[in-house]
Structure formats: structure tokens, C-alpha cells
Chain A
Amino acid sequence: MSRNPFSTSRTPGGRAGAYVDTTGINKGAVLWRLTKLVMKHYKFSFLAVALCIVVTSVTTLASTLFTRTLIDDYIVPLTQADNPQFASLAQTLFTLALILMLGVVCSYLHSRLMINVTQGTMLRLRTGMFDHMQSLPISYFDSHPHGTVMSAYTNDVDTLRQMINQSLPQAFNSLITISITFASMVALSVPLTLVSIVMAGVMAFSTTWLGKRSRSHFKNQQQKLAEVNSFIEEMMTGQKVVKVFCHEKQAMEQFGRINEELRSSTYQANRIANIVMPVNGNLSHLSYVLIGVIGAMLILGGHVDLSLGTLVAFLTLNKSFARPIANVSQQVNSVLNASVGAERIFRLLDEEPESDNGTVTLVNAEQEGDRLVPVKARTGKWAWCIPTRDGGEPTYVKVDGGVKLDMVDFGYNKEKQVLFDINIDAMPDQKIAFVGGTGAGKTTITNLINRFYDIQDGRITYDGISITDISKPHLRRSLGMVLQETHLFTGSVMDNIRYGRLDATNQDCIEAAKLVNADGFIRRLADGYNTILSGDGGNLSQGERQLLAIARAAVADPPVLILDEATSSIDTRTERAVQKGMDSLMRGRTTFVIAHRLSTVRNADCIIVLERGHIIEYGTHDKLLAMKGKYYQLYTGHDI
């Protein structure tokens, strides 16, 4: 019986039936690493638990063996006595009670300590994973499905819980119980022990055999479950289309088919799993009878020196000998699952973090005469602090916001280059607009400037400093980003704006909102700036969310801005508000904008037209129109 009724129950928050494939993993190495990890922080807890297990086993054994003492040493002599005295029995019982109490205390200590070990390890793993994840490059998130990443925190960590909490101590416990029981059995009677061993072997064999068969069925069931899940997911997403096309009947039929397949595979898997318990239980009965009969024969035949009490005690011992063997074989499944989970967790923990060799930092500065000096307080002026090689006085360079791309080549992987020989020279306070079709490489360029990705060839400089020399956090702090896809976080509107600069006062946040035209709608919300947003700001309209994202960038007040305009169907009026917000933010900053609106493009200092990773045209609006090239075509919607 398991100690914890939640062990195999639902995984909170997790999707049931994620298909687990155990092939191709070095389970041994993974499990060893996991065990080491647990042991490292909880050496003493484990030692204490081990001690508790030993004590508990001994006391359990004592209570088992007590039956013999009771019968042989007390009851039998007492029945034969003329005037039975129970005083010595009382004394023995009292001693026994003390021993058993010790056992109870130890068994509680054991569970309690294991909770700390298990939950502590899970906490450590979760925070460790999360902390490590924060250091990973964007490419990790772009190349791993979010669902898989998330399930590492839930499903995978949960599989470990069962293993640490149950399998580890149980393995130890079984080992102890088996050896102690075995020793006692040998001490009681060698021939009977042999019978016991044979029966235990049969039991272990049957459990493993059935286990193997049910595992393959369980695998099949998991696969079917995954199929049903994905079918349901697809059909529920398209349910409105199903209705519009009156496709209900066909959808029903298809579902009925795979639903039936799942049912049948579930039945097969559980059917075999359910055999294990009765078979084992009754094998132990068989063993009981065998030993009883053989024991009786031995006693009655007078061949061996065996007392009645010993036989009775042996019968009980035999039961406790069989149980852990069956237990261990049942734990195999949980250990296998855990090894898969642990493997995924370790893979995340082993991901190479974002490298950062930059030493140049961003500091607040003040002009003193003709030189810049760093100051603590916010001055609105910034300087790059360039340390000297020999550790002497660093030099300071004013942050102007000039960004230059020089013969830049880039590809997300080696096989496919997506940007070719890109040259851009953005002077301070200029507005650079990128225009071009799908996959032209507009977003990619902005991802290179903030070093979400690193270039393969060429050079990008910021105020004359190569961006690889600037510490990444400082580089990014100097660049404000408004992404096309807005992401807001659970929390108040104020918190979301403050995300741009954590030490911003409420007044700063409100000023920023006013600057970008967001103040009006925020005040109309139920709780104004204190309105709580949840589910990625689900209760706001697309345009409103965009405005908040702009306010967030505004409060950060960076020297350089990267804006990705929204293309989703916001209506013309909201579009206007967003547009105005962006315009006021751009004033006095170098801005890179991925443009979708004519108005944004028209007054840009330089428009860069991209096609398939090449700059094919660039210049001002008028100049490009006059060229009658691709830009003209895009702008007018006509072929030339």
C-alpha cells in the first residue's frame, strides 16, 4: 500500500497522458545524477531517514516475532502452570510497547523528513530551471515548443516527486527488510527459508513478466491518449467551422472511432495491471500453505528441532519477506517515468546559457565642463563606461544613439542564410523604417541590434563601440522595444508600465502613459491604474494592449527605440491613437521601425526596402517613389 494517496493521482495543472517515450535515454546515468543531486543537499536528512528505516524495520520485526515469544514463552508455560502469574508478561508487553513507540516515532520522522527532501528538491529544481532558463538565448525559446518547456516544470518535476518520495526510500526499506527478515528466517529454520526463497522467486518473476506485458500496453494507451487529445484539441479549435459546415455527424463518427480505440487500449493495459495484485496476494497464500505443510511435516516427523511458535513466527516472517519483493518490481514503472522526466529537466539545465563577454556598461552621466562624469542619480543623460585593459581609470563616451551595421550576414542556422551584406548607418535621432514582404528579414535585423541573435559576419557598432563589447544587459537597457505581439503580465496596469523601469514612481508611469496617449483609456478602466490584468491582458482590446506596451517603453526612456507596428485588424481610430503614441515616443530618439503604415514610412529619414534578406532600395520617401521600383509598387499597390 502506498503511503501517499496522491502518488499516482492527478498531476495538478498537467495535461494527462503526455506520451512518454523511454527509449534512447541512458537511464542509469540520469538516475545516478538525480540521486547525487538529492544527496548533495540532503545528506544528513537521508542519513536520518536511513536510520529511521532501520529502526522501523527492526521494530516491525520485533512485533512480528513477538507472537512466537507470546505463545512459546508465556502462553504455553502459563497454561501448564497451576497458578498462572501474568506479571512477567505485563513487563514484556510494556517493553514491547516502548519499542513499538520508538518505531512509530521513527516512521513519522521518516515521512516528515522525506517531505522536506522531496519538496525541497522539487523547489530547488524548479527555481534552478527557471533561473537557468532566464539566462538562455532567445534561440532556445524559438526552437523549443512552449508546451514542452512548460511541461518540464509540471509533469516532469512531478514524476520525480514519486520517485524521490517513494521509490528511493522504498528501495532502501525493501533492502533492509529483506535482509533482516532473511537473517531471522535463516536463524529460525534453514529448510523453510529455502522454500520461502523459491516462492519469492516465483513472485518476482510473475510480477516482472506481467509488468513487462502491461508496460507495452500502457505505452500503446499513452499513444492513443495523445491521439485523442490532439484530435479533441483540433476539433474544439475548429468547432465553429464544424457548425458552419454542418459537419457534426462526420466529426462524431471520426471521434467515435478513435475514442473506441483508446477505450480498448486502456482496457488492455489496466486488465493486465490488475492481475498483478491478486496473483501476488495468492502466491503468498500458496507459500503460506506450503510452509505450513512442510513445517508441520518437519515438526511431526521430528526431523528438525522446530517449535510450534517458531513455525507460526516463520509463517509471518515469510509474508514480510514476500511483500518488499513485489513492491520493488512495482516501483520499476515509476522509476522509469522519473528517469524520462529527469532527463528532460537535465537537458534544460544543461542548455548553454547566453554568452556575454561585453565589458562596456551604461551609466548615468553629467556634463562637467568638457568631460562626462558618472553619477548615481538619473540625469536623463547616459554614457558608455569603457574600462581600460590594465584596470586603470575607465573612459566615458556619451550615448548618442548612432547605430551602424557594416556588411552584416546572418542565418538562424548554418544551412540557410537569411540576411546578406546589410549596411545601415543610423545617425543619432534619425528614424529608420524597414519595409518589405513576409520573410524579408525586417524583424531579424532588429533581433541582431539587441543581440537576441549574434551575427555571423560583419560588424554592428553603437556610438562607435562594437556591440559585442557592450555587456548585454546594458546594451538592451539602452534599447527600447515595442513588439508587434504585445505581452502583458499578470498584475496591475501600473505594474505593467513599471516593467520598463522598476524604480519608476507612480507619477513617472502616469507621465509616460500621458505621453503616449494611453492615460485616457486607463482612467476609464474599472480601477484605473490599479486595474488588475490577467491572461496576457485578455480583458483589454488589441489597441489598448499595444498602447500599454508603448507606455512601458516610454517609462524606460531609452536613447534608441525599436518598434514593430501592429498589423492586426484594429480599427482606424484606435490605429490613430496608437500611431500618435508611437510618434511622441520617437521624438528625439534614434528609432528603428518595422513599418506597416504609409504614414510612419513617409516621414522617415531613411526607408530601407528589404527583399529576401537583401537591401534592394533605400532612401527617403520621395526619392524612392521617384525610383519607381519595389517601393513604388508596394506603396501604390500597382505593378509597374
Chain B
Amino acid sequence: MINTLLKQVKQYRTAALLSPLFIMLEVVLDVLIPYVTASLIDKGINAGHMGNVYIYGATMLGMAFLSMLMGILAGQYSSYASSGFACNLRDAMYRNIQTFAFSDIDKYSTSGLVTRMTTDVTNLQNAFQMILRITVRAPFTLLFSIVMCIVISPRLSLIFVVATVVLGIILGVIISKVAKTFAKVFKQYDELNNAVQENVTGIRVVKAFVREEHEKSKFGTAAQGLYKLYVKAESLMALNSPVMNMVVYGCIIAISWWGAHYVVGGQLTTGQLTSLFTYVMSILMSLMMLSMIFVQVTMSAASGERVAQVINEIPDIVSPADGVTEIRDGSIDMNHVSFAYKGGSGEYALHDISAHIASGETIGVIGGTGSGKSSLINLVSRLYDASRGSVMVGGRNVRAYDLTALRNAVAVVLQQNVLFGGTVIDNLRWGNEDATLEQCREACRLACADDFIMQMPQGYDTRIEQGGTNVSGGQRQRLCIARALLKQPRVLVLDDSTSACDNATDAQIRANLRHQAPEVTKLIIAQRISSIKECDRIMVLSEGRLSGFDTHDNLLRNNKIYQEICALQEEDAGDFDAPESTRKEVEA
């Protein structure tokens, strides 16, 4: 994981290395300054030599200025390196996500990917900057200070060694306990958030059942739990400061005692004694800093793990190196195709399906929830790969095609369709970047979208909000169909794409496609029998198996499942007001 992450430092490597270098120089200067101070006192003030006071004062000022310069440079480089590092991480993740197959996206989930690219990266950026700035400074200060102490008085330095070891051990114990408790704190935090979220989204249920008190006590318990854990973790951490103080004070007393002896004995000067006091502080401060960094780095390790996972993910489907870019026609052949979702229960979503569709045919697909309709058509544009058997388009195995070429030839209008922030025409041009306004309008006419677009305030230049929230569900579906048509595909797949349109519009779109795009093979998934009745042939799926593939009339005669669906729908279970599924957006 660390390797993967470090690779992303890339062009910021120089900055990342320069920053600790400058910090080291800064530390050297910082540590030397008290030494000069000692001389200032001993050789200048004590000796009553004003000349020396000026010399050492000037030296000290010069060093302070240099140290400031180093500090500023280190700060610049570390912020440059860490912001660049974060930028590269996001970029690397985003780049790899673009190569993800559908199965990879399913694995991480959309919200999972979003958190990884935002919160986790921010955590890593902070940790990186801290490592650059402090992780180098603290041990270096520690080491250098100890060296200086030894230079001044080897015997008195023993005190530091003892103090450092004692403090190191105590802090180590505290940190390891704190880290564990904080892990629990974060978990409890998630639970608390979950409680709030459930309450807020389900508030109608809460109020309808008058469960306010029940909810309060549920939340109270979670909040109380968090409180206890937090107090526990922070109390442990609060030990840090008194422990450190105690050690520092111990050192001061010990140094005072022996120091006095040495000064009296003439082995030490007063100035050196004062410098020693300064070094005590910096040694113990740097230990303290180390302990904090350690906790923070442990905490960001989880983020690092999650980010590295995305960067290193090898996509399930990759385009072949010398893929075929020409798709001859829209014929589709499925030979004994079986399919199971990766990471699913391992059960087959599709069993041994064989079907042959001629170019230009219109095929309906029907079946209950979970019967495998979407799974089946997703294989055609290679959004997923078949587990067994082969899927052919235009007489060739889909695996032989260049992925871009294949997906441009097989246009899919997904069930969960999305519009993006931008104008109507921007969204349409996803289908074909170079499409003229007239081409776009033509596609929209086919999809019965032109009328309502023209009624919008700015027509094709009207802004669509993120997620397409300012158009109704039916309008969104029609825009998505138009967008797919602009690709001028050989195969058009509509996955329940007109469910929010009223019956008349639904029928109109189908008629338009039939008459104006006769050479395109059309695969239409629908819930309503009326939407697919007139198709050339209809696939009936049941529990992942192809139970029938024939015309409406023949199926009605021979296929039990089809008969049942028809009977239920015609009898009473039809949708009363299908456009109703747009209701949610309108009210939200």
C-alpha cells in the first residue's frame, strides 16, 4: 500500500525531498542557536566583553534569518508536494475508475468511490504534509539536541538518555491504547450518524407511528455510548501532557543539582547550563510530537488502504490490444450463455441461453424481477462478460472488438439513467460530440423529446441540473433515448426506458423507431405487455432461463409464463397511472 501511494508523488518528488532537507537545515540552525546564546552569555555578558556580545548577537541574528528562510522554503515545498500528491491520488483513482467494468463499480459502490476520492484523499494529504514537516523534524531535533548535549556535557546527557527512554516507553503504551479506543470511537460515530440518517429520512414513519420517544431513547443510547468512548480515549490521551511535564521537571531538577556541582567544580559554565535547559525542552517536545504523529498516521492508514485498493484494482474487462473496430451489422447470437455476478451469491443469473437475432429485428424482453432481463442485455455491449458460452455481435465474438467501437455500435439506455449538469444539447452530444443542432433535433423527434425541449425557456440551451432534477422522469427517459440514438448504433437496447412515459408517448416512440430506424436491431425490456406486444419476437425470461422466444401470438398460445403475465395484466394488475413514477422528484 505504501508503495502504491508513494508512486503517486511523481513530479512532486523533488519538492517532497527538498522539504525535509530544508527542515533539517532549519533544525540544525535551531539547535545551534541556544549554543550561540550560551556563548553570548558566557563570553559576552559574563566576561563583560561588549564586542563579543555584538559578534554573537549578529551571528545569532544571521542564523535566525537563515532558519526562517529554511523554514519558509520547507513550508512552501511541503505544501507544494502534499497538494500535488493529493491531486495525483485523485487523478490516479479517477483514471483507473474510468477503466472499471460494471462489475468493478458494483464492487465498490458509488458512494464508496466518492468517499475514497474525497475524505480519504484529504486525510492522506494532511498526513503526508505532516510527515514531511514533522516526522523529519522531530527525530532530527531529538538526535541533534542529544548530540549537542553530549558535546556540552557527556555526563549530564545521561540524564536525557534515561528520561527519553522512560518517556518513550510511557508514551508508547498510551498511544497504543489510544489508537485502539479511537478505532472504536469512529465506529460508534458511524452508528450515531446512521441513527440520525434513518430518523431524518424515515421521519414520516416516526411521526405516523408516534415513535418520537422511542427514537429519542435509541439516539440517546448511541450518543451516550459515543460520549463514554470519547471520554475514555481522550482521558488516556490527556495523560500525555502531565507525564511529559513530570519528566521535563525531573530533568530540570536533576540538571540543576548535578549542573550546579559541575559549575562549582569548574567542568561546566553557566552559559552551558542554560543551554542544557533549552535542550531538555526541545528533546522532550520532539518526543511528544513523535507520539502525536504516530497516532495520526495510524489513523490515516485506513484511508491509505482504501485509496491504494482503488488505484491497484485491475478491471475485469479490458479492451483487446488489436480489437476489431468495424461492426458489420446488428445481428446478435448467444450460444449457451451462462452468467453469474462476481461477488454475488455465486448463483447463476442466466442459465444456458441460446438465441439468434437477425440484424434489424425488434425484440421484446419480458419477465419478473430478478429473471435476468438486464443481465442478458448487458452482455451484448460487454458491460459484463459472460461466465460461460459466447455472445456474438455482427458475426464476431464481442471479446474480439475494440470496446469503444463495440459500445458505440451497441447503444444502451440504462434502467438507472443519469443526465449530467449542463445544457440539453451538451447532454445530447454525449452520444456524438460533433452532432449538429439539426441532428440532435432529429434524434429528439424520434424520441418524442423535441416538443417539450422547445417549450423550455431556452430550448436546447436550457440548463439541466445535476442529476437531471429539473425534468420529469418521463422527459429524462426520452432525453436519454435521444442521446443513445445520436450514436447511430447498429443495436439499440432500451432497458425499461419508457416506464415513466404515458402509453401514447411510449407507443409513438416505438412507432418512430420502427419506421425511421428499420436497420437498427432493437432490444426492448418492458414490464408492460403493451410495450412489446408488436415486437417481431419476444424473449420470455424466468429465473434466468429462456422460457420462450417467439411472436406474441405464438407465445400466447404456447408459453405458460407469458400467458400468466398477460392474464394478470389484462385482468387487473395494470398500472393505473404509469407517469406517476415521476412523483417523487416533483415532491422532493
Contact = CB atoms under 8 A, between A and B. Distances in A.
Contacts of A240: 102, 105, 383, 414, 416, 418
A292 B565 contact: no
Contacts of B98: 242, 248, 251-252
Contacts of A259: 87, 90-91, 94
B7 interface: no
A115 B113 CA distance: 35
A263 B84 contact: yes
B408 interface: yes
Nearest to A285: B64
B197 A12 contact: no
A637 B44 CA distance: 104
Nearest to B270: A71
B296 A473 contact: no
Contacts of A135: 212
Contacts of A133: 199-200
Interface in B91-126: 91, 94-95, 97-102, 105, 110-111, 113-114, 117-119, 122-123, 125-126
B268 to A, nearest CB: 10
A572 B416 contact: no
A596 interface: yes
Interface string A466-509: 00000001001101110101011110000000011010000000
Contact of B53 (A116, A153, A296, A573): A296
Contacts of A141: 200, 203
A260 B369 CA distance: 44
Interface string B430-455: 11010000000000000000000000
A296 B45 contact: yes
B368 A111 contact: no
B95 A252 contact: yes
Nearest to A105: B242
A569 B499 contact: yes
Contacts of B194: 490
Contacts of B72: 274-275, 278-279
Interface of chain A: mostly helix, strand, loop or mixed: helix
Interface residues of A, number: 170
Nearest to B294: A5
B234 A237 contact: no
Nearest to A116: B231
Given A244-B412, A267-B80, A293-B53, A450 B231 contact: no
B118 A16 contact: yes
A263 B87 contact: yes
B549 interface: no
A247 B428 CA distance: 12
Interface stretch (B158-166, B320-328, B574-582): B574-582
A389 interface: no
A1 B289 contact: yes
A271 B118 contact: no
B6 interface: no
B33 A285 contact: yes
B64 A300 contact: no
B205 A483 contact: yes
A101 B242 CA distance: 9
A598 B68 CA distance: 80
A282 B65 contact: yes
A63 to B, nearest CB: 6
Contacts of A123: 223-224, 226-227
Contact of B71 (A138, A282, A443, A574): A282
A289 to B, nearest CB: 5
Nearest to B499: A569
B518 interface: no
B587 A574 contact: no
B264 A597 contact: no
Interface stretch (A86-94, A338-346, A514-522): A86-94
Interface in B228-265: 230-231, 234-235, 237-242, 245-246, 249, 252-253, 256-257, 259-261, 263-264
B579 A281 contact: no
B135 interface: no
Contacts of B240: 3
Given A13-B190, A146-B201, A278-B67, A595 B118 contact: no
Contacts of A66: 252, 256
A548 B76 CA distance: 59
A182 interface: no
A438 B579 contact: yes
Contact of A79 (B82, B252, B264, B414): B264
Nearest to B496: A569
13 contacts: A79-B266, A115-B231, A115-B234, A130-B199, A239-B97, A246-B403, A278-B74, A296-B53, A452-B204, A500-B209, A571-B368, A599-B573, A634-B577
Q: Across the A-B interface, give the 7 residue pairs with the lowest CB-CB distance, nearest first.
A: A278-B71, A274-B75, A571-B368, A487-B202, A270-B79, A5-B292, A285-B64
